[in-house]
Structure 1
């Protein structure tokens, strides 16, 4: 892996423009290059994120906040001329984060992002966007987001791991996903994907109305489960099912508090929006 080391986080507007202009698949191999940078944690931005996602005030960063710190680097990676797939139209299938130590007392972090694990899929190809966050003591947090690019032709067998539906779960809480949550989350995350912003912009990409960001759904869920989950040595995996159309109400179901458990986010008519699980990092399945 070759690394491009930036002196400061990327300036986003040119990257949005680059993403808007690239609409075609230009290859079938991932570049052997990652992007890394030192990033400062801004308390005002963290507070704004907490408000949008429902996290209570705490000296510890929200479990999903490193995604926000890494977003510019992810954009830089995915809009680079060497990257073969257009960013607009990618579908976020699943997300896994590992919190190795409590996310407290951090002011500056080293973040590295790369793509790997290109695999054939019945609808195209999948790959993982891998993010690693380190502090002065070493690895602190890491994540893999599995993305689907439709229309890619790869040789090989397609294999899809299907996560079993949670069984021992009960309703924890429910909340409304308001019509403007896509715009509000975009302001704190930098993710201005048109499918999340309004019904008009979503229709340009084939959606009847705007849909909530998958990582907002996950963040809002983890905020609601704050008393349920360990603060560290935890792996949290979710699969995104049917999108949450805006506005709508969702119900969170989860198993009892503990070192491991399962969760599910459902909408009207028992539609499944997201399913997931948590467990200690030391476990491998």
Structure 2
């Protein structure tokens, strides 16, 4: 029986820029490997007020005394990278793709709150384009769960893209048509996304991945221009939803469809559902979606679809 590596205990958040540099110089085997349970924990952490102010400014959130719904993802991301940079993790971090995000807020967090953060990864699953794995995050205040997330990453592997596509809709255009019906009564809001959006969000988040900064550095990784951070797009959408995103308990699900090149003109749309949920999407001028998701009122720990460690065991205390 294999023994899980010890929990990585941190006294302060790791530097995201330093973790990206570690990822750039790390060497990992090209072949697939097992993903063991890896955990990192940060106790007694208070978000940086300056970073919060920069985040509000670039995403459009008001300074209302509370953390925006999506902000915990920002201070959790350096912990995620610290996990994926551990020698036990089998894949190269650079090149992994953020494909989905599912987060729950159980109550609004005051901006000066003292928090404990636990993040972990374990296992993977085979998909058409390679391997998917889930990064789990649990945020507590005073030992009580207040925010959680599942961040799904894709690692492309050679030869996987050519396998037969299974469980694919009969027509991609049919799926697009269903989305268009959903947003048929929505009033489109045009956005102009400036060329410096990636650099501004990098200052707020610490994510200085070169694909987001300049066209020149993005071309080194196969992009014609720099691309916006996916979580900037999600944060901007949540800020645009106003009061709907200010409820105490919320669930937000997001799917990243294709990169948003900088600069761009895009369209933001929302559609209120009968149950009070708000569907949203950001689409390009050619009609193809960049991000699509749903904001739902309510969140309960009972319906968590993640393996939450017990506070008496590996959980945060």
1:17 deviation in Å? 2.3
Residue 241 of structure 1 corresponds to which residue in structure 2?
257
Instruction: Kindly indicate whether residue 148 of structure 2 is the aligned counterpart of residue 142 of structure 1.
Output: yes
Give SS of 1:269's match: coil
Cα distance in 2 for residues equivalent to 1:166 and 1:137:
43
Farther off after superposition, 6-15 or 215-224:
6-15
Cα distance in 1 for residues equivalent to 2:16 and 2:133:
23
TM-score relative to the length of structure 1: 0.90
Change in Cα spacing, 1:128 to 1:159, as seen in structure 2 (3 Å) is farther
**Residue of 54, 57, 60 corresponding to 2:63:** 57
Cα distance in 2 for residues equivalent to 1:103 and 1:158:
43
1:40 deviation in Å? 1.5
* Counterpart mapping for 1:73-222 below 5 A: 73-104=79-110, 106-151=112-157, 165=179, 167-169=181-183, 170-171=186-187, 173-222=189-238
Residue 10 of structure 2 corresponds to which residue in structure 1?
6
1:139-175 Cα offsets, whole Å, 9 max, x none, are 0111111110011789xx9977989737433135332
1:93 deviation in Å? 0.5
1:202 deviation in Å? 0.9
Residue 33 of structure 1 corresponds to which residue in structure 2?
38
1:221-240 Cα offsets, whole Å, 9 max, x none, are 00001223352321110100
Change in Cα spacing, 1:67 to 1:223, as seen in structure 2 (3 Å) is same
Q: Which structure 2 residue ranges, 5 or more long, are not aligned?
A: 170-174, 306-317
Give SS of 2:7's match: strand
Cα distance in 1 for residues equivalent to 2:96 and 2:135:
12
Cα distance in 2 for residues equivalent to 1:26 and 1:112:
29
Larger radius of gyration: 2
Please give the root-mean-square deviation of Cα atoms over the aligned residues, in Å: 2.6
**Residue of 17, 20, 34 corresponding to 1:16:** 20
| 8 A Cα contact 2:36 2:89, kept in partner | yes
Aligned structure 1 segments of 4 or more residues deviating by more than 6 angstroms: 157-164
1:122 deviation in Å? 1.0
Cα distance in 2 for residues equivalent to 1:77 and 1:42:
22
1:51-81 Cα offsets, whole Å, 9 max, x none, are 0111112111111110111122112111111
Cα distance in 2 for residues equivalent to 1:139 and 1:262:
26
Residues matched between the structures, number: 283
Cα distance in 2 for residues equivalent to 1:145 and 1:166:
27
Cα distance in 2 for residues equivalent to 1:110 and 1:139:
9
**Residue of 258, 263, 277 corresponding to 2:294:** 277
Cα distance in 2 for residues equivalent to 1:210 and 1:4:
33
Farther off after superposition, 254-263 or 51-60:
254-263
Q: Which structure 1 residue ranges, 5 or more long, are not aligned?
A: none
Instruction: Kindly indicate whether residue 267 of structure 2 is the aligned counterpart of residue 267 of structure 1.
Output: no
1:154-207 Cα offsets, whole Å, 9 max, x none, are 9xx997798973743313533221111111111111111111111111111111
